[in-house]
Structure 1
Amino acid sequence: NPTIASRMTLLGTQRRNSRLVQTYQSLDAPLPLVGERYALGYVDANKQQQFEYFRIDKLTHSIQTFEDDKGTFQVRVIEMETQNALSLDLQGVKSPSRTQISPAVEVLKTQVSDSGKYYGVRPIKKELKQGAVEINVDTIFEKLIPTSTVSTALADDWASGKPLWIPTAPRRVVYAGSAYVSDGNVYFDTGVLPTSVELTGWVDDGSGSLKNSNGEILQIDYAKGVIYGVKNQQIGRIYATPAVKYQNYAYSATSPIKETNQSTEFALLLRPMPARGSVGVSYRAGGQWYELTGYSDNSLHDETGEVRGEITTSGSLKISLPVLPDVGSGLLVSWSPDGFYKTLGDKMAGSVIAPQPMSSAVRLPEIPVPRLKPSTLRLSWHDGTPRTAQDSNGSITGACGGYVHYGEGRFYPTNLNAAVLDWTAEQYIAQSERKSVEVKANGTRMTLSAGAKVAKGSLKISLPIGIRVEEVEKLSESISSGVSSSVATVSTTPSAPRKKFYAFTASTI
């Protein structure tokens, strides 16, 4: 809201649709700051007070000399680029005056009322119960006077900079619904990367807003993955890159601002190479500090979302400030090196994260017993498309490969792309019997009897065999169909005529 008159006086005619406001003030008056909001107040033809608001986007100033009937005098002339264009012509004074005057259009200061930028503490009016979705307080307003100011010491906090966004998965569907939303919010299944949200008819500006061609704006919380205030909109599938934000500035550099290098354009080389979205820049202008935030597309933005610089693939930082920084201050740059964050494929953070095939062993619980019943194993998962697999004669077939050890209660899937795997199987509940039996050998064939019917997939055989190597150069045991074998050397006796002993472990598949 407009308050008191500022130290500035409107100079010359300010044209409709122009984004430039020109004023003058005394040399000792403090300069206005980029980001501040002012109002141009005037009385219209109906004797009603009207206001034209503007926000300073850029400003330049110079000391100029003027002359009147008393001689020459100097004032500071300020040219301010505004964020929004003027809606009508406004007439300022034709020439500066060394004395105070009352122009038809005044430059007024403003104050923020009921802004979300301010926070307060209020007692609850009604007792809160578990599961409640509403909170009652005595008022939603708080005093904005010095007596309400509280100083709090912060420990273990970051001195400067903005969080780094780290992509955690490939671009995918984060909202699969298709519904008409009359009034409500849309929730994603994960936090998302700024600028990556894709909703038909809307554009993600990377600063927390989705905009369409009709000028409508939806607010989005990237960290929580929520679009707020959706009204009378048909919402279909929404694509985005899942991401989290993390703050870990490990490197910083300062470039001193002197009279010899004061400029709005800077170029710096950052080493080690910065991770995408990790660069933060702080600078001082007019006695106030401002920040530029790095985005995951390697661009730098100010608080209004305007692009103010970029980081090249070689690590060069190019900055275009909206205003000259103060002499005697410094350009502060902070960043995290790209080596801090890697994808599964050892690529730089921000690169596309390709799913990696993973081979793993899965073991059944010990209870009742870890023995699988053949042809009962079923696997299912979702990698964008529903997938299934099953066991068949000891092998896993379907959307992935692998093999099964029924007796051990283990299966080993291969080429399986799944964050979550669902599987079902049947187990034998009877306790296994262990016995020693006589083995009859007939050439290359061995015969044994378990003495009872054996459940399919539950048989394990362990037997030692001694063979003269000079008689059989290559061991080729043919165990009955449905049995696999493995061979391991147990011991060698040098005094025996090249005699080796082997232990065989076999399990049905």
Structure 2
Amino acid sequence: MAINRTDVKLLKSQRLTDEDDGGGRATGAAVIDGEVNNLFPDISRMDRTTGRINLRKVFAGVMTSNSDAYLGTHGIVTQPPADQRVSVLLFNTGSQTDVRANARDAIESYVAAASAAQFDLLGTQLAGQRAIACVQREDRRVPEVGDVFQLVTASHQQYVRLSGVESRLEQFTFDYGNGNFVNFTLRRLDLSITAPLLNEFPGGQPSPAGTSSTSLDGKTKARVLSTQIADAARYYGISPLAEAVAQGALSLKVKSVYSQLVPSTTKESPLVDVLGGYQRQVYIAAGPARNISLTVAAGAVVGESHTFLGTGCAPGSLTLTFNGGTYADDSKGGLRFVSGSNWMSSGRVDYQTGELTLIRTGSSLTGSGSATYSPGAAATGETITGEIEVTLGNRGYVYTLNLSSAVPRPGTLSVSFMALGKWYELRDTGDGLLVGEGAGTVSFATGSVSLTLNALPDVGSALIYSYISAADNAIVQRAGGSVTPVLEVRHTLPEGGVLPGSVSISFTAGTPRTLTDNGQGVLSGTGGSGTIAYATGEVVMLLSATPASGIVYSYEVGTTLSSPINVSSDGSGMASFTLPGAPFKPGSVRVDWLTTQRQAAPAVNWSVIESGSSLPVYDGQRDIAQAANDNGAGGWQGGRVGTINYTTGACTLQVAQLYDYKEHTYTRVRTSAFGATEPVLVTTNVPTREQFGGTLTVTAQAASVSATPQTSSQAQPPITVNLLPGVAEAIVPGSLLFSWNGSVYCDRSGILYRDVATNTNGGVAVGTVNYAARTATLSSYGGNASGAVSVLACLTAAVGFSVTSVTFRTPGAPLRAGSMQLTVVRTDTAEVVTASAGLNGDFASGIIHGRVDASTGIARLVFTSDPDDDTGASDVPVIPLLLRYNAVVQTRLPLDARLLGLDPVRLPSDGRVPIYRDGDVMVIHHTAETAVASPVPGGTVSLARQQQQDIEVVDGSGVVLRAASFTADRVLGTVTWANPLVMQDEEGNPVGLPLIIRDRVEHMTLCTEVQITGLLGLSSPLPWDLPADETQVSSAVAWGDLQARVHNWFTQQTWSQGAPNWTDAPIGNTTTAQYNSLTYPQLITNAGGIDGRWALVFTSSTAFQVVEEKLGVISTGTISSDCSPVNALTGEPYFTIRFQGWGSGWAAGNAVRFNTDSALGPMWVIRTVISGQGTVDDDKFELQIRGDAD
């Protein structure tokens, strides 16, 4: 018996509703072609207003009384809804019995929880909030609009999608106990979310490592997990051809590779003052390895112990010995076992704070240990950016980068790519591996990078990479020096106009110490040396030892004269002028003025460097405050050239001196045995004379002034130590560690701490650090101290880096057209330059030229006064740290989950899902219609083409004429009417006139490539020319061969009613008695069979119960008659077991287990109504179940 066309039906499931229990098993009721609301209800006004998702489960059923195979069964949408605001999707969970709740879970599995997010909740977040407050370390990635995270507590969890991101740096204070406080900086995140919180989620309080483990009320803080695209559900749909294709084509373009799954509305999120030429922080060694003793203390959590290194730690440098075991860090923040006793279950190191967390099962451990590590700090380098444009020719999963011209510094390389409209990222972990949405390697010796992406990047997008060059000499290690401390004390006396020769200073440092002035502004004596500016009372002392208490000052003062003078200087910087009010008291004269010095910044333009062209010089200016005090002997202090006549007031003074102007150039240096070279910055000092401002301000005492004795005292004064004499660059915060007089000092946020305890991380705050001046100022110290200062760790950072081009991407896409605004600051003039993108994304304003792609968010900019000049001569340098932009990101805001019956947060942000994938079966089809107003019984209609795949006849309402009323010849392309011609459908319902013959040509092929542009690759060439719009491309749900069968037959000696065995293998012994399946095989029909697990449980030696796993006991039988339990839905037996096959020897409790497969293919149909006015009153779409049979 063959399978006829009418035997293949689309069957309804048990419940065609949108309740949680909608769906279920197949029924015997077919979905009637052309019947109104045969599957979905009408679309209500509320549906049109809010949007709606309807899910219906159906089955492809082969309803024959045999078990013939329906080969290669698949289903497609052959005609989409006419209403543009309604879409239809198919998907298959593979289950014969699942319900809507199960289907919902499958749909929502688009994203799944992955690893811990790079931020923590800040404080408790309350139910109903539409924004959450969080904090993160500065070096962590800022989340982007559209990102999805999971909040998890012990009792509940919720996925949240970000609709807005605001970030700022904020300073916090942490109490380590015993009065030990530390100031630290974290990034504060205010994250708007698309749906309110459904429960309370506790958050911790800020700490240097992130947040505390509990909230203020003692609740365990909620975990925040990042998510990854699981995309477990696969969807199938239909899209029209966007462009006509010719015979033989191996690709075509559809209007969209997406279809709407979730109704949503467009929301615009502003991006304000976002850094374009962004920087990356990297933890690097600030000094050589040091060994310290540790005290390990128990933590607040059972099984956790903590100890502190006291400073930051360079990744990969730590070795810890404690409790008989040796461990090392893995460069990623974890601890790995090395040798000895492996007592620890896990451990971690915070590279920024130096906190070690040791975890084991059971109670926490305490005791002493040791560590060897290199102090480290988070240094910020300037980022080099670049891109590889993705074209049709180079699109693939694997890419390589050649960064030999500027090899990346470990831990700084980031690569972003866009796949199906979403940005993904890979990051270098510092050990040569790239991890994230893909994998890769980077060679820090040669600059070679290999990338393997998790998804094909979109054509028209780009791979955006950024990193810090290993040749970037902005960060320099300054450790290892031993400096004789210059114990500098600065003090300004309460009064100016000090009488020369009247100053006496005294203090105690073991013994009484004194300093006196010589009348020429010079201080000397047993207390050290120094200078005094008589006119202003400014005292600078270099003490021989630290004072044990305060300092006492004795001196005489008199009135002063002050006046401005306009003068000019000659080519050697000398100025001649006469002071009014002479004669003057020697030593009382002071002159103040301003000069201007040039300064240069190194410009980077890699295209210019690689071409061999010279880089332009970019100059700026800075004003320098100058002062000169006379020396009481007719000259000027400090070696300043010039003279003064106290009697007449006639003066000469060099007001403009020579200084070292730093000139920057680049040279190429070989960096490896492979011959790779890198551009290396070369700085040359060029003697240059200052520019004099033209105005002097003079302060002096008349020779006849009377003097008044004065005394003042100063409490133990702050002592300033010059840590890096001869160095001009600033100290990197957090990198300083030095020892002096038996104590160790470290810096934290500008505060200097002494002797930090390893069990609490607390130390004594004793002073401050001036990072720019490279000095440490101690306000607390012991008396009579004068030993050497040993710099154990220190980094310095150069400033002034500039760029002439930049490539970056926005954190989110697409952008609203014309919404990007740029602000840059020129390095050469400090001018602030702004520009706005046109509607097509172009920048062409002043020095800013380039384009931003609104669809991807990629901005490509050059800064030049002549965009046609590619030599670099017209390039204009800008400061990357000050390159900022505003833009508007357009995002889709899904509707309320309670209205949809789905959680849209776990679905794509725009509500769209791809309907074509590589390897999918596609059907390219075109349907033509021929109207027949008056069909003649027995007559033949010749169609306009031949070799059709399908021919059917319908009336004007879409009711299908029964197959017996006509004969179609698909080879010749003809339709012959039956005689007599019965105008009815298969159910006997009337069919009206005119009749419409619909013939379809099609081509089945595999999809070899999917691009976001709509381009689809085909595995076999098209056999016809096909027009746009009328031609449809359907992706197919495939079930394979549908055929009912009985299989997996086995016996079991004992059947447990309490714990029945529904596995596919016997439990315990099998029976001696058997059934002869070879001679009397079990029978099953396509119409009666279901997917089920069955047991025949013997109640005696001849009788048994028929049990199905889900249906329970449905019948009884004996070995003396055929067993044929009837499927009530179809009227056919589930199966037939012939009595002749039964052997003897059966006993009560024996069981026969077997499985049956049906000829049913389950499928979910999704109808999505998008909010808006409908365009069709009575709409429809068409499905087709297809396959092959004799």
TM-score normalised per structure 2: 0.21
Highest RCO, 1 vs 2 (Cα 8 Å, sep ≥ 6): 2
TM-score normalised per structure 1: 0.43
More strand by share: 2
